[in-house]
């Protein structure tokens, strides 16, 4: 089970959103694994991810590149979302070569994810998918808002903050990039995809203009 599993959107919307999550296995190879986890994140950072995260130190937007590498423990979990499949493929090639023995999870649409794995010569150990949300779904935010908020698997990106960013954008107070960065800062893990957020916010603004 992974908190990156529940990102919303149709297939076309998920084409620029692939998340790498890596960690040691408790009771198997966790003891003394901090150095390997750090090395794994360093490898991911070389291949143009759109964000980075280290659960024990924070995300790229809040901590900066140097800050996320300051603290690693044997329980560290690291993340790197990619907007380009080619960058993910190159990252996986290097990780395969280094063979650090860490558990690596890739979240994304099945076709795109499996295509990346085939290029690297990897066969997935396990495949999981989300069945969606059940219950009083009418109480959920709009699908447009959910596409943004579910990019943070722990739901630290508030729907109300998304609405605030849209209001500030309409009033010209901030840029699309600034709004996306504000949203990304809330996601401790660093799995939020700010480049995708720019695209989604722009689309939402266009819809609002058409609705006037």
Buried b (16+ CB within 10 A) or exposed e, 130-146: eeeeeeeeeeebeebbb
Start-to-end CA span in the chain (Å): 42
**pLDDT above 70 coverage of the chain, percent:** 98
CA atoms of 192 and 161, how far apart (whole Å)? 14
Mean per-residue pLDDT, 195-209: 92
> Which is nearest to 40 in space by CA: 4, 64, 65, 76?
76
pLDDT exceeds 60 at position 1: no
CA atoms of 81 and 99, how far apart (whole Å)? 20
Q: The pTM is what? A: 0.93
Both tokens assigned to 140? 């959920």
pLDDT of the residue at 210: 62
Supply the mean pLDDT for the chain.
93
Q: Where are the beta strands (DSSP E) in the chain?
A: 18-23, 53-54, 58-59, 77-82, 103-107
């Amino acid at each position: 089970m992974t908190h990156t599993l529940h990102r919303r959107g149709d297939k076309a919307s998920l084409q620029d959103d692939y998340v790498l999550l890596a960690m040691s296995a408790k009771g198997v190879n966790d003891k003394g694994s901090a150095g390997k986890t750090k090395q794994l994140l360093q490898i991911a950072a070389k291949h143009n991810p759109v964000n980075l995260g280290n659960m024990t130190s924070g995300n790229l937007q809040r901590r900066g590149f140097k800050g996320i590498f300051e603290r690693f423990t044997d329980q560290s979990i690291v993340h790197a979302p990619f907007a380009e499949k080619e960058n993910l493929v190159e990252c996986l090639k290097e990780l395969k070569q280094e063979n650090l023995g860490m558990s690596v999870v890739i979240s994304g649409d099945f076709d795109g994810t499996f295509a990346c794995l085939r290029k690297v010569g990897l066969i997935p150990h396990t495949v999981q998918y989300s069945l969606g949300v059940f219950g009083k779904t009418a109480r959920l935010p709009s699908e447009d808002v959910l596409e943004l908020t579910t990019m943070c698997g722990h739901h630290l990106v508030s729907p109300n903050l998304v609405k605030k960013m849209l209001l500030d954008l309409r009033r010209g107070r901030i840029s699309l990039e600034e709004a996306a960065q504000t949203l990304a800062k809330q996601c401790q893990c660093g799995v939020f995809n700010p480049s995708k957020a720019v695209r989604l916010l722009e689309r939402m603004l266009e819809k609002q203009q058409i609705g006037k």
